[in-house]
């Protein structure tokens, strides 16, 4: 079945397969949201089924929780787990400092809470997500419904004084209605093009009344695993400063993975 994967799907798959090697019996593991994270959840389900891996997952969204349960991964709440050994998640962008933009899938708030409640965060991605400077991907900002237009205006006013190339914002939509997060909030997408100082931007945005959280993950990611279409991966560890190149044995997966392929 893996022979039928497109290069981008193969890249996501090998990054996910390499990442689950970090999961050990007895761990409490945060499970990310998005297309690459879905590969990871399926890989964990295969390990539970075929190798008897025993661990507990904490999902970052309702859809991740549903997928995990479908493939046999036991799920508890973060309150029940209290603290996590590891979180594995995708990213919309990452730079050389392993700073991230996340939230394209709408789960940035729960993703950030889970990631910061972990001893280690591993990001799985393909090479297209690597950028010199964050900002080409719109930055998601989760905001309260109450007074959202005022919050939007305050965000736009604040952007004028910050080191960004663009200042356009838009309310994320789900067809004809505003997109609603799992926590019942709206999302503003900030079209910044380039973010000169991600740390400053994150701090300033979170001081605006009505802003719940933003999609900049600063000093949270420890390792990024970059998948390639040829089945190879690059493992970058920001703490040790190491970069390793490996070949992942993709083998032939079964229909456990069939519904992930777009």
Q: Please tell me whether residues 65 and 156 are part of one structural domain.
A: no
For 253, the token pair is 């997966």
- Binding residue per annotation — 91? yes
Contact status, residue 202 vs residue 214, Cβ threshold 8 Å: yes
| Domain identity same for 97 and 226 | yes
DSSP structure class, residue 124? E
Q: Identify the residue whose tokens are 């067809």.
A: 175
262 exposure class (CB count in 10 Å sphere: 0-12, 13-18, 19+): exposed
pLDDT value at residue 250 = 78
Residue (of 39, 23, 33) closest to 227 by Cα position: 39
Residue 53 sits in the same domain as residue 122: yes
Residue 198 shares a structural domain with residue 232: no
Q: Is 36 annotated as a binding residue?
A: yes
Residues comprising the chain, all counted = 262
231 is in an annotated binding site: no
Shared domain for 55 and 18, answered yes or no, is yes
Q: Is 86 helix (H, G, I), strand (E, B) or coil?
A: strand
pLDDT digits over 186-221, tens only? Answer: 999 999 999 999 999 999 999 999 999 999 999 999
Report the CATH number at residue 68: 3.40.50.1360
Domain residues for the domain of 53 are 2-130+219-260
Query: How many independent structural domains does the chain possess?
Result: 2
Write the pLDDT tens digit of every residue in 42-92. 999 999 999 999 999 999 999 999 999 999 999 999 999 999 999 999 999
pLDDT tens figures, 108-119: 999 999 999 999
The answer to whether residues 33 and 146 belong to one domain is no
- End-to-end Cα, the chain, rounded Å: 14
Statement to judge: residues 100 and 13 lie in one domain: yes
The residues carrying an active-site annotation are 111
| Contacts for 149 with CB less than 8 Å, ≥ 6 apart | none
Q: Which two tokens stand for residue 49?
A: 């089924």
Instruction: Report pLDDT digits (tens) over 135-194.
Output: 999 999 999 999 999 999 999 999 999 999 999 999 999 999 999 999 999 999 999 999
> Is the CA virtual torsion 4, 15, 124, 253 positive or negative?
positive
Same domain, 65 and 195: no
Asked if 75 and 182 sit in the same domain, the reply is no
CA distances (Å), 125 to each of 40, 84, 223, 229, in order?
11, 21, 11, 12
3 assigned to a ligand binding site: no
Query: H or E element: which one contains 49?
Result: helix 35-51
pTM attached to this predicted model = 0.93
Taken in order 113, 59, 39, 7, the sign of the CA dihedral is negative
Residues 6+ apart with CB under 8 A from 13: 2, 5, 39, 43, 227, 250, 257
């Amino acid at each position: 079945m893996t022979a039928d994967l497109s290069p981008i799907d193969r890249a996501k798959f090998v990054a996910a397969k390499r990442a689950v090697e970090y999961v050990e019996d007895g761990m409490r593991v945060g499970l990310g949201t998005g297309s690459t994270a879905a590969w990871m959840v399926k890989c964990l389900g295969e390990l539970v089924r075929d190798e008897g891996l025993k661990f507990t997952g904490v999902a970052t969204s309702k859809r991740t929780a549903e997928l995990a349960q479908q493939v046999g991964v036991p799920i508890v709440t973060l309150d029940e787990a209290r603290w996590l050994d590891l979180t594995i998640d995708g990213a919309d962008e990452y730079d050389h400092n392993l700073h991230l933009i996340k939230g394209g899938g709408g789960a940035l708030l729960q993703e950030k809470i889970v990631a910061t409640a972990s001893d280690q965060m591993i990001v799985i991605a393909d090479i297209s997500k690597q950028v010199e400077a964050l900002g080409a991907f719109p930055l998601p900002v989760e905001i309260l419904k109450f007074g959202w237009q005022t919050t939007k205006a305050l965000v736009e006013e604040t952007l004028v004084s910050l080191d960004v190339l663009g200042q356009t914002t838009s309310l994320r939509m789900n067809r004809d209605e505003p997109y609603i997060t799992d926590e019942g909030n709206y999302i503003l997408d900030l079209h910044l093009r380039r973010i000169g100082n991600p740390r400053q931007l994150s701090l300033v945005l979170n001081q605006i009344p009505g802003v719940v959280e933003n999609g900049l993950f600063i000093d949270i990611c420890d390792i990024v695993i970059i998948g390639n279409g040829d089945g190879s991966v690059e493992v970058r560890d920001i703490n040790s400063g190491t970069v390793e190149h490996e070949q992942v044995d993709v083998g032939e997966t079964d229909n456990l993975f069939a519904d992930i392929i777009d």
